Structure 1
Amino acid sequence: MGTALEAVRVVGGRSGLPTDDLAVLKEGSNLLVHLRPAPVVARVGAVTASVRGDVSGHFARADAVSRFLAGRGVPVVEPVAAPVREDGWVVALAAHVPHSPDWTPDSASFATMLRELHQELAHFTGDLPARGPLDDVDAVLELLGRPAGLVAARDAVVAGWPDLPVQALHGDAHPHNVLFTRAGPVWNDFEDTWRGPVGWDVACAATSRLLDRAAVERAYPVPVLDHWSDARRLLVRCWRAATDLHRASTP
């Protein structure tokens, strides 16, 4: 299997995009590559692929939700082309959105934005996962050999899982997944979208180091935020462990 950048070159070239000046924007859970000078960014599954195995479903759901929201006038990073497979990699192309990387949002304003996003997402009727973060937690536990501490934390979260109304969610609703542009904030990265209680997304915001939990909670009160915060912190622990494992095994 070739490298992720080679896959981007092939997919970009096939789409008629320039591929001689690829700029890596981020190497995190996914690889993000700007196909300069075109206003297009490629997303390639990296750590996510090592945990989820096949990220095509996640990328396809992100594509569908983003297109749906754009159609309703919600400012989102819009897809350029549907995700495709190339030499073992899954590659998605989306618009490059110039933005200020140093933007620090007001906590209450961010919570209000999230509430407004949920009002739009409530109309999405497409097929979405029902377990969301639990699927990733269970996958990471298997990769790590089911360490006792994480298993106990996982079982406690599952035991306290509340029976609440569900709807389409962002799935990873923290400030780094909003781009601040001259025209205002733009939502990004719906790869983790699932159908669950809105408290999950609120916990993603409330547990962010960029936001004040009390301000988020006042602006967007939800039931059992402590439970969702515990679940969020567990997921973050699992992803950090998976990232360390991925980097240790990557030449």
Structure 2
Amino acid sequence: MEPSELRRAVEAGRATASEAGLRVDDAVVVHNSDRVALRLVPCGVLARVAPLGHLADSEFEVEVARRPADVDAPVAELEPRVEPRAHVRDAFAISLWTYYGPAEPEIAPADYADALLRHHAALRRVELDAPHVTDRVAVALGEVNDREESPELPESDRELLSGTLGGLSAAISVEKGGDQLLHGEPHPGNLLNMRKGPLFVDLATCCRGPVEFDLAHAPEEVGKHCTGADHGLIHRCRALGWAMFSAWRWRRDDHMPDRDRWRAEGLHRVRAALDRCGPV
């Protein structure tokens, strides 16, 4: 978020927690992107603050967090002292979570794989109406194909992203028999390596699809510890994931910090991933 919007988001997060009866003397920005994560002290709460246009995503994330918690999934917990819902204040959607403190050093691939496998096992016990991976891809494809929504995207790169999103989405939707509920984006930034065990965060991307789609977001070594994974499908899903990431970065209203660098990096990652899985 830009500085002026960030100040308003911080105040909205603080005020929401205070109104819920929590003591808030200070708010520390933990992460600033299209959404902001705030550490509220001394109450020990993490506030996730998003523009009101993301209210549906915030409500969905809260609902997703409630379900896996019931089946002992390794996920971050909502703040138990506050009603589990998305709050609305000053054009922002705010959800309140347990703050877990600094994470341990980088997680070993085998431990990462174990956490993801346990998460998938728990999600198979959850009944939740979630979109399919291909539904999310369709939204990204719409952004790419709409020149008014992505006016700065060069035509050659538009063709690359359109072909990748359309071709690979069709390829992974041919057989849906093995699909299940997924995290959606379990990359290292969404896994806290805590002393009591790894915990997944940022659950708004929950969707249905092949487990290889989740594995494609993890470091490559993680997939080698998952017996039965289709490594060719992981490569295709990795290319698809980077194409989706790139589609979001080229949106006219994208507010990710350092967006220009990530636009270039995303396209580079798409090409590198496609080289590993052959032509779309």
- The TM-score bracket by the shorter chain reads 0.7 to 0.9
Q: Over residues 172-217 of structure 1, what are the superposed CA-to-partner deviations in whole Å (9 max), with x where a residue is unaligned?
A: 1112211122212112111111122222111111xxxxx3x2x323
Q: Relative to 1, partners in 2 of residues 1:217 and 1:21: Cα closer, same or farther, differing over 3 Å?
A: closer
Match of 1:77 in 2: 76
64-73 vs 128-137, which moves further: 128-137
Query: RMSD of the alignment, in Å?
Result: 2.7
SS in 2 for 1:82: coil
205, 227, 234: which one pairs with 1:192?
205
Match of 1:155 in 2: 163
Match of 2:91 in 1: 88
Give the counterpart letter for 1:134 in structure 2: V
CA distance in 2, matches of 1:243, 1:36: 35
**Is the Cα–Cα contact under 8 Å of residues 132 and 193 in structure 1 kept in the other structure?**
no
Q: Relative to 1, partners in 2 of residues 1:160 and 1:183: Cα closer, same or farther, differing over 3 Å?
A: closer
**Is the Cα–Cα contact under 8 Å of residues 82 and 92 in structure 1 kept in the other structure?**
yes
1:20 pairs with 2:20: no
182, 185, 188: which one pairs with 1:172?
185
Unaligned runs of 5+ in 1: 206-210
Q: Relative to 1, partners in 2 of residues 1:177 and 1:169: Cα closer, same or farther, differing over 3 Å?
A: same
State TM-score, norm by structure 2: 0.74
**Is the Cα–Cα contact under 8 Å of residues 61 and 191 in structure 1 kept in the other structure?**
yes
Q: Over residues 49-101 of structure 1, what are the superposed CA-to-partner deviations in whole Å (9 max), with x where a residue is unaligned?
A: 5xxx732222222212222222112232111231111121111100111232x
Match of 2:235 in 1: 226
1:36 pairs with 2:49: no
SS in 1 for 2:217: helix
Unaligned runs of 5+ in 2: 260-280
15, 21, 28: which one pairs with 1:10?
15
User: Percent same amino acid among aligned pairs?
Assistant: 23
Match of 1:111 in 2: 113
Match of 2:265 in 1: none
CA distance in 1, matches of 2:99, 2:15: 19
Q: Larger Rg: 1 or 2?
A: 2
Give the counterpart letter for 2:167 in structure 1: A
Q: Relative to 1, partners in 2 of residues 1:21 and 1:93: Cα closer, same or farther, differing over 3 Å?
A: same
SS in 2 for 1:224: helix
State TM-score, norm by structure 1: 0.82
SS in 2 for 1:43: strand
Aligned length: 235
CA offset at residue 236 of structure 1?
Answer: 2.7
11-20 vs 152-161, which moves further: 152-161
**Is the Cα–Cα contact under 8 Å of residues 157 and 227 in structure 1 kept in the other structure?**
no
Give the counterpart letter for 2:225 in structure 1: A
**Is the Cα–Cα contact under 8 Å of residues 74 and 119 in structure 2 kept in the other structure?**
no
CA distance in 2, matches of 1:195, 1:94: 24
Match of 1:183 in 2: 196
**Is the Cα–Cα contact under 8 Å of residues 73 and 123 in structure 2 kept in the other structure?**
no
Q: Over residues 216-236 of structure 1, what are the superposed CA-to-partner deviations in whole Å (9 max), with x where a residue is unaligned?
A: 232222362221011012123
CA offset at residue 38 of structure 1?
Answer: 0.5
Match of 2:223 in 1: 217
